Amino acid sequence: MKLNGLSLIGDRHGAAGGKTFTGINPADGSPLPVEFHTASNAEVTAAAELAAAAFLTYGRWSGAQRAAFLNRIADLLVANTDDIVGRAHLETGLPVARLQGELVRTFFQMRQYAQAIASGLATGVRIDHADPNRKPLPKPDLRSLMVPLGPVAVFGASNFPLAYSVAGGDTASALAAGCPVVVKAHPAHPGTSEVVGGLIQRAVRESGAPSGTFSLLFDAGHEVGVALVKHPLIKAVGFTGSRRGGRALMDLAAARPNPIPVYAEMSSINPVCILAGALRERAEEIATGLHASVTLGVGQFCTKPGLVLVEEGINAAMGADAFRSKLAALMAGASPATMLTPGIGAAYRSGVQTFSRSAGVKCLARSADGSGPTSAGATLFETEAAIFLANRSLMEEIFGPATLVVTCSSTAQILEVVGRLEGQLTATIHATQEELLAHQELVFALGTKAGRLVYNGFPTGVEVAHAMTHGGPYPATSDGRSTSVGTRAIERFQRPLTFQNFPDAALPPELQEANPTGFARLCDGVLKPHICG
């Protein structure tokens, strides 16, 4: 597949002439072929205007029509696996097998969302029938469903170049909701973005969707992204990345004359609590699992456990020691691996240095970084609860294969630490079943801090499922009421719309009395699988 380095503005290519940049081979920092051209302001405007025009048609497509379109995108991703994975491997240094798995996740996600909208799962139909005889006033006929917000800006993520980038979860859920999408490509994998973007452009054409349903913009810096978030025709934003970047977008969106929602998935240290009983029973097993979770994908997962709260009571000492020795040995023996970009590699080393210099923090293991700007070894730190609580900088995420064990004297002290944490994507508890039942206060406290609670497992590995919550209170995300993974992600780009006293023939099919779409509906407060009555 030949790359040309130009943005995709609806069914056309953008112009050359903007500031250029290239992909970078993360293993050695060398530039990859093809120069990419930053989109002009006029192109940003054109993409937004085309999206708004497309919304007038695409926003009225039925669930079945949108599902066919999403499935077409999935088919094209499958058919072009080699091109996509080949280029992504060059640009990100991620192993081919991991990228193949990520592509499976990407098209599975597209198909799952297609199925969700085709079956009415995200339509939320509610019908309250009229009562003309009600006193003192007649009761009107009210029917509501979820409708799309309008054009959505999506920012590709560096750490999931497929599943959270051009055809990733934000794009899939926005398109599923009925929203045209304008993607700002992540500069760390521009070629991958162009390949995938071209396939979506083709699916738009082949599905008969309006051309503005999808655009892809390249940006050497931040200007395109800023212009996109400020554009009055853009109605929502999806983003996965750093806390600083996400907060900047939140602030931009909140300062607009008409503020819009930003769904930014940003920063999480994913606390893992290990209670005494679990340590007694499974110290080495937990250490082994934790090591695998911390170093998975070179620690570049948003759900990487970066904080481990260990209950080290007197009776548990044996278990805690075994856990610590095993974990330290595994971390010290971890092979260096290639991180995504030289910038990410530098930030990892800087974060490790900051923790290493913190008073009262011991470095229990540090495996060699290897050579090259992105090669990183693993790091294990340890401190005590009192020191952790006194130094808020220890709550900051180190993006990479590092974690911090905090020794706590009791579950009460674990509860105290948890109460002081910021919002998280996940929180994990290792405990015997008896301990779990005895410490429901701790479970509740973890639940107020996180979007997902994991029992006797590890937080990495985010299942694309109906019941998944990949979200959590700020700063884990910008909006703790949302998830960016699973079919609930579609809801982020919808709002409810009510029709009052409309004649049946003029209602959307989902709301018509005979229920031609066959969706489940809430009728007069009672859930009905098919028709009301």
Show contacts with a second copy in window 141-180 (CB under 8 A): 142-144, 147, 149-150
Site for a second copy in 452-471 (CB under 8 A): 452-457, 461, 463, 465-469, 471
Query: Residue 420 is encoded by which pair of tokens?
Result: 């002081």
Q: Is 265 tagged catalytic?
A: yes
The whole-angstrom separation of Cα 198 and Cα 11 is 9
Those residues whose C-beta lies under 8 Å from the C-beta of residue 242, and which sit 6 or more positions away, are 266, 267
The pairs formed by 156-159 with CB atoms below 8 angstroms and a separation of 24 or more are: 156/183, 156/184, 156/185, 156/186, 156/189, 156/193, 157/186, 157/239, 157/240, 157/241, 158/92, 158/186, 158/188, 158/189, 158/241, 158/340, 158/341, 158/344, 159/240, 159/297, 159/300, 159/301, 159/302, 159/340
Judged by CB under 8 A, the number of residues near a second copy is 85
Is 265 one of the binding residues for a second copy (CB under 8 A)?
no
30 in helix, strand or coil?
strand
Residue 58: CB minimum distance to a second copy, A? 12
Instruction: Provide the minimum distance between the beta carbon of 75 and a second copy in the complex, in angstroms, as a whole number.
Output: 21
Q: Tell which one of 30, 41, 353, 501 touches a second copy (CB under 8 A).
A: 501
Give the integer Cα–Cα distance in Å for 11 and 203: 11
* 372/472 with CB nearer a second copy: 472
Rounded least distance, CB 504 to a second copy, Å: 10
In the complex with a second copy, the residue whose CB is nearer, 387 or 443, is: 443
**Do 58 and 244 contact (CB within 8 A), yes or no?**
no
497 binds a second copy (CB under 8 A): yes
Give the largest Cα separation in the chain, rounded.
81
Closer to a second copy by Cβ: residue 206 or 441 = 441
Q: Which of 273, 302, 408, 523 is catalytic?
A: 302
* Residue selected from 315, 356, 448, 509 as contacting a second copy according to rule CB under 8 A: 448
Does the protein bind a second copy through residue 4 (CB under 8 A)?
Answer: no
* Residue 441 annotated to the active site: no
Nearest approach, Cβ of residue 393 and a second copy (Å): 15
To a second copy, the closest distance from the beta carbon of 198 in angstroms equals: 29
Catalytic residue selected from 91, 102, 265, 382: 265
List the interface residues with a second copy, window 194-253 (CB under 8 A): 250-251
What's the Cα-to-Cα distance from 101 to each of 85, 93, 98, 460, rounded to whole Å?
10, 15, 5, 15
Of 1, 441, 514, 516, the one binding a second copy (CB under 8 A) is 441
* Cβ proximity of 178 and 147 under 8 Å: yes
Catalytic positions are 265, 302
